[in-house]
Structure 1
């Protein structure tokens, strides 16, 4: 610790008194902590006062071997930069939002005279109106379903729209008004678009009144077919009422964020409300030290959460937080308008926050129960395979191919918190020396690529990405292939087990192979067996899904795609002239020359490509 303090003191001499961001770095170059400061000198000087440091911060100081600094114009700018750097470096000693992602939106694309309604995720580069965020793709699909039923807007792409000569099935089932073939005028269609825009903006009551009036007028005129259309549209909009919760449709644009802590673990629930409608919720379990409290965890979460998202006008929270005014100012800069962070004290907003907090508590209780169960299973795995401790990272490997074609290897990862899907990996089998269907050779290639890269990136084996257990789908042959690679690379000390399907591929009668030991089975009702089967089945699901995707891409790939000097326009000309890719491959040079855009030199290149 003394060494760490002395290193920090050296930096203080040259620091200014303005705002900025600092990074504390260990001997391997890993970022331990990212912090912001209104006065860099005063903030960093605090780390040299050993009596005032907690045990956790003292340990961080003892590991510090270097520091880096970025000065900023304002403390608000420092706060925004701090959130960005925390998400980039994922420092050990910061409160860290895990599994952050962008959320889907609904886009009414106005670049076409007959606007399209579609799902959107990512940068908002397309011209149109964006509505969201929605908590999940499922919530977007549910809303799109309502939009189709109520407003009959097109969902097809512009290219399909422009090439249609007759209505598609969606017109037949009254999900689209078919502007592509003139079944509705442009003015009437755009009126539907405006109604959908108003509905997503929270004006559903006004639209319902309009539809009710239209239905009654049609009925009075004995136009019962038109009345039925409005009846069905009203029925679709009725589904919205069930998703407004305690807001009574009055909450126009707000996120409700509530945190609940128990036993050093925290769950934060985020509910999205837009246009008076609940557009779903998401639970988060940020990483933090056990002694950190909600008033410290919540602002760190909020600053990281909105780092890549547009903040709403209002954010309701369930706890007072540190530096609320600073956070509001930072979010206001991102949103380019005022953002209010409020802890409601009474009324419907307080009831809403309490409801969200209750959801956070229940989600945390489920998480703790699942983690406890998972911990018991991992302890059982450690005992079964004679490991030193319950494994924190299990890697499961499987291969897939059809008679050797589209060969693919896959790795899934599991640990104390269940499946770690962001760590899953696919391996396209690249070796040209493998015989079709050589499972052992495929497994060797996967292992070589996985652990050669791991050794390159972390030769000292300090990172958490080294596995505590390898589980191989296969028998003695696959195990031998894997152990051969691990021995060649000098990492044969990683515990490795092969799990082979039982007779007639019956689940529950699997054989387990461990190097140097006799194969064995587990009792059919053993919980650890079920756990290992679940891991193996997840690897099957992932590799087969990936293989199907690869095979599908291969099916849609044309033999003309790799022709030298032939782009999309020339490829289209070739297909229009010859009728098929196969006919192009068999064409003579003289025939190829007759195609628009194909010179004699290019015709020779194409011919030589197919006749090497």
Structure 2
């Protein structure tokens, strides 16, 4: 419904200066945040009678208020716009969901025997950092290759300094045993140098050094070492055949965009020292139907100014010509501390990189849309199989996990027509119920979940699946009745008599039972959601259980800090001996008074 916003009156007094505009609906909720070199011209464009897409027209109809913030220049407006988008997350802006820092490979080159390892976060340690890599998997793959090829240690320093004999990595040929002086420091430094050359993309020089080392070893009749150099050269050739290399040169991010059906895929290739370290796809909602150039223009500042810990290359190559590249480059360069250029028209190897990124963005977007259509078909099949009044848009599933009542956890997973919505997943620590009472645990989790949704005024799921039989379903029904929730349909998912996948029994609220065919898309969807709830519950349970079991009983005793615990363990040799000790024996420990000894004894022996 159109609002009563008087655009003509608002625009009449609007400034021509640069700045940021924020659009709100009648309820005061943010709709969109934008920047402008000329606020009056930019905001006026939204209210032209023609030339807008249906999506932009829908946005304009919802506008009830616009707030303006004037900025000294367009660059400052861009920074302010990104801060507001990050803080307010307007629904009509494109929004990046991934706020994690990128991982690096860290080399502790200041140590006598340097190590390499995955690193994420602030770069506080002295050493060299190589990256960024698109994800931790890419780092682990590189580390695995380096470990097999150059055998530089990856163990923690605490492990390295306390070994008295070589570890398993030495036994299987993935480490040279520097911890027990099997290799000299000079020879180890050669392996470290080769690792550095590989990570820096200096492949030609690395090949030359390895070839020279192989020839020298052969001349000295050291055929074992010559064979090792030969294997390293072959491994390098294999890796190079799988990556695009530009003769050890080139430091750039390649950004390409593909859009369709109100969705967009921004694909980024990370090229450092001429070697492609990997790539990452970002899927964004394109609610205003912006073209690819505009999407890239909005994406770039979110990528580089969004608070991520990443190195910005000197060059950013884009698949579509972007407006205001000078302003974007200036703001990003100021933020990262060096000059940045944004290029569109490129040739040779950069053109090939752009073509690769465009193809990846298009393919990944098609795959995602295809998966969503597949999921939608399953939702429609579920409606038909369960005789639901309409196709569900929001499904939740609960499961309980514990070990003989220990560390009971409840999980809630959420699915919509696009698949799992992991940002809405919830876990519940179950407390105050009899150990092993799954019914009470389910009742507590459901009560906490839906009473909170009601208090927050949030929506409720169309369908609620309970992993369990009639008992669990009955408890769920009681909770929903007590909370006055009648719009959510309940079904129990029991494993059936054989307890094998494909034989699940679905129990309706009236306790009627239904068994779907094993090839039913509806059953496959239910199994997927149920298995995800089970995985999420058991993961949380195992983490809590393992943490509890690794915790010392002494940590729970008031007045016994880390130093006293350490002194007691040294004095008695272990927890069992401390438990056996008398008050007099405990009082003999340095720092333990008679009174504290009595408290420790009482805590350890209370029933």
TM-score (norm 1): 0.90
3-state SS of the aligned residue for 1:285? strand
3-state SS of the aligned residue for 1:257? strand
Distance change (3 Å), C-alpha of 1:109 and 1:12: farther
Instruction: State how 1:571-590 maps to structure 2 within 5 Å.
Output: 571-590=565-584
Give the number of equivalent residue pairs.
603
Aligned to 2:332: 331
3-state SS of the aligned residue for 2:284? coil
Distance change (3 Å), C-alpha of 1:222 and 1:265: same
Aligned to 2:201: 202
Instruction: State how 1:34-433 maps to structure 2 within 5 Å.
Output: 34-40=33-39, 43-44=42-43, 55-65=54-64, 71-99=70-98, 101-110=100-109, 112-245=111-244, 247-289=245-287, 291-306=289-304, 307=306, 308=308, 309-429=310-430, 431-432=431-432
**Offset at residue 61 of structure 1 (A):** 4.5
Q: Tell me, which stretches of 5 or more residues in structure 1 are unaligned?
A: none
**Offset at residue 110 of structure 1 (A):** 4.5
CA distance in structure 2 between the aligned counterparts of 1:332 and 1:445, rounded to whole angstroms: 52
**Offset at residue 398 of structure 1 (A):** 1.0
**Offset at residue 163 of structure 1 (A):** 1.7
CA distance in structure 1 between the aligned counterparts of 2:170 and 2:8, rounded to whole angstroms: 70
Higher mean C-alpha displacement, 534-543 vs 183-192: 183-192
3-state SS of the aligned residue for 2:498? helix
Instruction: State how 1:461-540 maps to structure 2 within 5 Å.
Output: 461=458, 466-516=460-510, 518-540=512-534
**Offset at residue 589 of structure 1 (A):** 2.7
Higher mean C-alpha displacement, 39-48 vs 252-261: 39-48
**Offset at residue 56 of structure 1 (A):** 3.8
CA deviations 1:543-601 (Å, max 9, x no partner) are 22332222222221211222223332322222111122232234223222222333444
**Offset at residue 474 of structure 1 (A):** 0.9
Q: Do the aligned residues in 2 keep the contact of 1:201 with 1:275 (CA within 8 Å)?
A: yes
**Offset at residue 44 of structure 1 (A):** 4.8
Distance change (3 Å), C-alpha of 1:251 and 1:441: farther
Q: Do the aligned residues in 2 keep the contact of 1:5 with 1:61 (CA within 8 Å)?
A: no
Q: Tell me, which stretches of 5 or more residues in structure 2 are unaligned?
A: none
CA distance in structure 2 between the aligned counterparts of 1:305 and 1:391, rounded to whole angstroms: 34
Distance change (3 Å), C-alpha of 1:424 and 1:242: farther
CA distance in structure 2 between the aligned counterparts of 1:388 and 1:77, rounded to whole angstroms: 52
Q: Do the aligned residues in 2 keep the contact of 1:253 with 1:312 (CA within 8 Å)?
A: yes
CA distance in structure 2 between the aligned counterparts of 1:541 and 1:597, rounded to whole angstroms: 46
3-state SS of the aligned residue for 1:401? strand
3-state SS of the aligned residue for 2:170? helix
Distance change (3 Å), C-alpha of 1:565 and 1:112: farther
Distance change (3 Å), C-alpha of 1:58 and 1:361: closer
3-state SS of the aligned residue for 2:506? strand
CA distance in structure 1 between the aligned counterparts of 2:190 and 2:561, rounded to whole angstroms: 41
Distance change (3 Å), C-alpha of 1:567 and 1:189: farther
Distance change (3 Å), C-alpha of 1:60 and 1:585: farther
CA RMSD between the two structures: 2.8
**Offset at residue 300 of structure 1 (A):** 1.0
3-state SS of the aligned residue for 2:555? coil
Q: Do the aligned residues in 2 keep the contact of 1:100 with 1:305 (CA within 8 Å)?
A: no
CA distance in structure 1 between the aligned counterparts of 2:403 and 2:527, rounded to whole angstroms: 23
Aligned to 2:563: 569
Q: Do the aligned residues in 2 keep the contact of 1:76 with 1:327 (CA within 8 Å)?
A: yes
3-state SS of the aligned residue for 2:241? helix
CA distance in structure 2 between the aligned counterparts of 1:200 and 1:221, rounded to whole angstroms: 30
CA distance in structure 2 between the aligned counterparts of 1:285 and 1:225, rounded to whole angstroms: 50
CA deviations 1:203-231 (Å, max 9, x no partner) are 12212211121111111111223223323
3-state SS of the aligned residue for 2:401? strand
Q: Do the aligned residues in 2 keep the contact of 1:472 with 1:478 (CA within 8 Å)?
A: yes
3-state SS of the aligned residue for 1:5? coil
Aligned to 2:604: 610
Aligned to 2:5: 5
**Offset at residue 419 of structure 1 (A):** 1.9
CA deviations 1:320-359 (Å, max 9, x no partner) are 1122221111221222112222123532322221122122
**Offset at residue 65 of structure 1 (A):** 4.9
**Offset at residue 288 of structure 1 (A):** 1.0
3-state SS of the aligned residue for 1:492? coil
Distance change (3 Å), C-alpha of 1:180 and 1:323: same
